[in-house]
Chain A
Amino acid sequence: GAVVSQHPSRVICKSGTSVKIECRSLDFQATTMFWYRQFPKQSLMLMATSNEGSKATYEQGVEKDKFLINHASLTLSTLTVTSAHPEDSSFYICSAHDRDRAYEQYFGPGTRLTVT
């Protein structure tokens, strides 16, 4: 099956710093990638939809200046958490649509962000 990777898998950063998370589709081209946030014992909350070569579409309540998304190629999307605060600590998950497989959606393994 299709593989989506995320890097890093875990990151700890200090309050006020920025952190970049990468999401790659390893064996298919993804015109659309999604970024989700998962709180402990809760569901995945869609943060934004990222289309290759265009600006991301953010869900209501998600600060686009805080969560910068770049989808520069058909296999890479990045999420940068700027000026991170402890409340940004969470599990961030990306997923990618495989347009050649009826838009099947494949998930990355997630990135655990801890802001101290």
Chain B
Amino acid sequence: GNSVTQMEGPVTLSEEAFLTINCTYTATGYPSLFWYVQYPGEGLQLLLKATKADDKGSNKGFEATYRKETTSFHLEKGSVQVSDSAVYFCALRTNQAGTALIFGKGTTLSVSS
């Protein structure tokens, strides 16, 4: 079946450090891939997405590249801020209309000044 595996947290970084959160997936066909962010006390927000191999999604300084050969979609940011502290979820969705997202377990990021 389809699944998403992301690195266990929590990830604790100092401000301006480089961030990588690993995400790999298992899916039949060619799914769309997503990163969602959940700030404390808030709902999930779409951070970025990629719909086909070699696509790079980017937003707010975060990037992730859809790597079909390694079935990965790792999230990166060159310089994190305290305001980036949140839980990050990697997710996939098959390209069949009306299907739900399948989420990884989430990675908590804590950035200190």
Binding site for B on A (CB under 8 A): 31-32, 34, 41-44, 46, 49, 51, 93, 95, 97, 103-105, 107-110
Contacts and interface: CB of A to CB of B under 8 A. Distances in A.
A95 B101 contact: yes
B22 to A, nearest CB: 15
A103 B98 contact: yes
Interface of B: 36, 42-46, 89, 93, 97-98, 100-106, 108
A67 B101 CA distance: 20
Nearest to B91: A44
A interface SS class:
strand
A49 B105 CA distance: 20
Given A49-B98, A97-B98, A107 B104 contact: no
A43 B98 contact: no
A105 B93 CA distance: 10
Contacts of B43: 93, 107-110
Contacts of A31: 98
Contact of B103 (A32, A41, A43, A103): A43
Contacts of B45: 107
Given A43-B106, A44-B89, 6 more contacts: A43-B104, A44-B44, A44-B101, A46-B100, A93-B43, A109-B42
